Chain A
Amino acid sequence: MTEQNDKKLGRRKFLARAGKAGISIAAAGIISYRLYDSQGPKPGVDVESLVTLPPFSVPSEEGKTMSIVKGADRRVTVNKAIELLGGIKRFVKPGETVAIKPNVAFASPPMLGATAHPELVAEVVRLCYKAGAKRVYVTDNPINDPASCFTLSGISKAASRAGAKVILPKDHHFKHTTLERGKLIKNWPIFFGPFEKVNKLIGITPVKHHARAGASMSMKNWYGLLGGRRNIFHQDINTIIAELAMMVKPTLVILDGTEVMMTNGPTGGSVEDLRRANTLIASCDMVAADAYGCSLLNLKASDLPYLAKAQIADAGTTDYESLKPITATVS
């Protein structure tokens, strides 16, 4: 039977077939190469599946929007700063779930001031529980090995000891959002999961120099909520920070200027980059908090274009003095 086939096949026919087979293999190879996606399949996003962060703010109270407390001990200053705004019970009600979003961007120890201070985070956790919170989450989305960032910053240990649940980012936490009136945040993944069902949101961040943005403070802290290749936003850093201020409406921000990173931010690396300013700000208006925070970096609010952009977008005011901030000094 084989011999019969061979006889029927003939050389010319065989070569033609072999050529066709070769072309087919080459074509399959080229098509496979062109279609190869090293990232793997991505879920499609339709408009209906887009999410929006709910507002977490509390009703404003005349003269109780912002407080500035001078002192060296973060635990004491934060207690005083919140007390001056009406106390923690104004912000956290019994039975509520609170998310605390500290800046945990780097795997860096507390002494370098690149991340929120663990003592401060732990004290805010304790205050929330004191007010009757049912549950407190502490979470952030550092791109670089979140476990190392939370461990080396001392935040996971301090927050856990204070009773908080530390949430490290997982793929299922990210959902796409589009910011109304936004130019950059369009159909973009955000770290949404931990904030989806909480009642209140508190941001905690140190005052730092930032090589690209000029300064990293309360508004820049929300950069951690962005997923995807968020570095592309560094090309338009002022717009993205302003849009983050439009997207997130926190209950309270705590801006820690106890030690300020004056140069080489946002990573720092040397304790010589820090200056002790012994100042802590608590504010319901993060634009105002950051406008004041500029002075700790020897900057003016006008030096940071994102502040003006955020003000134009009604995210807050750069004229913090108009809010008549309550000031105090504690020992």
Chain B
Amino acid sequence: MGSVPSRAKRLESVIGICLLAILLLIAVGVFIKQMPKQKKDLTFLLPYGFKTLSEIEVYTTENLYEKINGKAPLYIDAGFIKLSTQRFVSQADENLVMELYIFDMARTRNAFSVYSVQKRPEVENLPDMQFAYKTSNAFYLAHGQYYIELVGFAESDELFAAMAEVARKIPTNLAVHDDTAIPEIEHLPKDNLVPGSIKLYLASAFGFEGLTDIFAAGYQLNGETITAFLSKRSGPKDAEAVAESYRSFLIENGATAKKATNKTLEGKVLDFYDTTEIVLSTGPFVVGIHEAENQQSAENLAVMLVNKLSGTANNDRAK
């Protein structure tokens, strides 16, 4: 009996120590959670002769609107995860300011989508990068899962040269985890393709909710720029269903059937307020032509697209 109290005492001490240890762990956890996080800045892209003008700012889906207001849904709907921004300023001239925006869009195709749908017309594509262009005060790039904007706050040769340096650094200095190619881009015919004109609409292409994951591209044919589109669906049945629903949508909105000059397109050509629309499916693809002025050119392009996809399908089968 005499040993019981001492055992109890030991046990009491052990339990006491355990409880204190738990409390200590909780305190450490609270401290870590509340400790100001050291943010990694974007100085790894800082150009020569420039310094940081601001701290890095990081935005998530919760607060992206604080930075870009009404444009936030465009990114969030396309899979946005995080935006990191920072301003750089010339060490020699405080008026030469640039702001770098790096949008993490989770996937290459999401980044390409926001890049392509916002692309300014008649701009200069950058030669060494697949998806990149510049305007007179800014650079825009899609690199892996990242969509990047580099905005100059002045029109200056010195600032522009520094921005070009940042743009050149991006492919080597900004590591990507999703550098997968976008196969649909390869399915589009190269002949007569307007460089840099490919766009990816993740939802509601051409005003129709049912058209998702649509790749559209401009082609220069007989003096007219014609828009061709394609989308890979889960299979031939799905592709036919989507094509049919888009045809119905056009007809509900005033389109009428038009006789095709090419027999293979019979029943697929529509007149839509004096423009030609072509919608069909081939294998797992929905393909078409959107608002072309010249029916013959539209049909030629549609056939070219279908042939390219047939070739692709044959190659896939051969493999």
Contact = CB atoms under 8 A, between A and B. Distances in A.
Contacts of B7: 11
A264 interface: yes
Interface in A210-264: 210-213, 216, 231, 234, 237, 263-264
Interface string B37-57: 000000000000000001000
Contact of A7 (B5, B19, B66): B5
A270 B5 contact: no
A160 to B, nearest CB: 18
Nearest to A4: B5
B66 A234 contact: no
Contact of A210 (B9, B66, B70): B70
B153 A152 contact: yes
A10 interface: yes
Interface stretch (B71-79, B165-173, B230-238): B71-79
B136 interface: yes
Given A14-B11, A22-B19, A109-B153, A144 B67 contact: yes
Interface in B84-100: 97, 99
7 A-B pairs with the lowest CB-CB distances in the bound complex, closest first: A231-B65, A6-B5, A212-B70, A270-B135, A109-B153, A143-B66, A272-B135
A269 interface: yes
A21 B11 CA distance: 14
Contact of B69 (A10, A15, A105, A273): A105
Interface of B: 4-5, 7-9, 11-12, 15, 19, 22-23, 26, 54, 65-74, 97, 99, 118, 120, 122-123, 135-138, 140, 149, 151, 153-155
Interface residues of A, number: 42
A10 B67 contact: no
Contact of A266 (B54, B69, B137): B69
B69 A267 contact: yes
Nearest to B1: A7
Nearest to A220: B70
Contacts of B5: 3, 6-7, 9
A269 B138 contact: yes
25 contacts: A7-B5, A10-B8, A14-B8, A15-B11, A21-B19, A22-B19, A25-B19, A106-B68, A111-B137, A112-B151, A143-B65, A143-B66, A210-B70, A211-B74, A212-B73, A231-B72, A234-B72, A237-B70, A263-B118, A264-B71, A267-B71, A270-B136, A270-B137, A272-B122, A272-B135
B185 to A, nearest CB: 23
A148 interface: yes
A3 B5 CA distance: 8
A239 B15 CA distance: 61
A263 B123 CA distance: 14
Contact of A10 (B4, B23, B73, B118): B4
A29 interface: yes
Contacts of B120: 263-264, 270, 272-273
B14 to A, nearest CB: 10
* Centre residue among A108, A148, A211, A234 by max chain B CB count within 10 A: A211
B2 to A, nearest CB: 9
A270 B138 contact: yes
Contact of A216 (B22, B70, B99, B122): B70
B118 A264 contact: yes
A111 B71 contact: no
Nearest to A216: B70
A27 interface: no
Nearest to A110: B153
Contacts of B54: 148
Interface string A89-132: 00000000000000001111101100000000000000000000
B9 to A, nearest CB: 6
A234 B182 CA distance: 32
A312 interface: no
A179 B4 CA distance: 74
Most chain-A Cβ atoms within 10 A of its Cβ — which of B7, B23, B66?
B66
A106 B118 contact: no
Nearest to A11: B8
Interface string A268-279: 011111000000
Nearest to B153: A109
Given A270-B140, A272-B136, 9 more contacts: A14-B8, A14-B12, A144-B66, A212-B70, A216-B70, A234-B73, A270-B135, A271-B135, A272-B123
A18 interface: yes
Given A6-B8, A10-B8, A14-B12, A213 B70 contact: yes
Contacts of A216: 70
A21 B118 CA distance: 62
Given A111-B153, A270-B151, A18 B12 contact: yes
A212 B77 CA distance: 12
Interface string A162-174: 0000000000000
A212 B70 CA distance: 6
Nearest to A268: B151
A271 B136 contact: yes
A140 to B, nearest CB: 13
A269 B74 CA distance: 15
A112 B99 CA distance: 13
B63 to A, nearest CB: 8
B303 to A, nearest CB: 33
Nearest to A143: B66
Nearest to B70: A212
A211 B65 contact: no
Contacts of A267: 68-69, 71
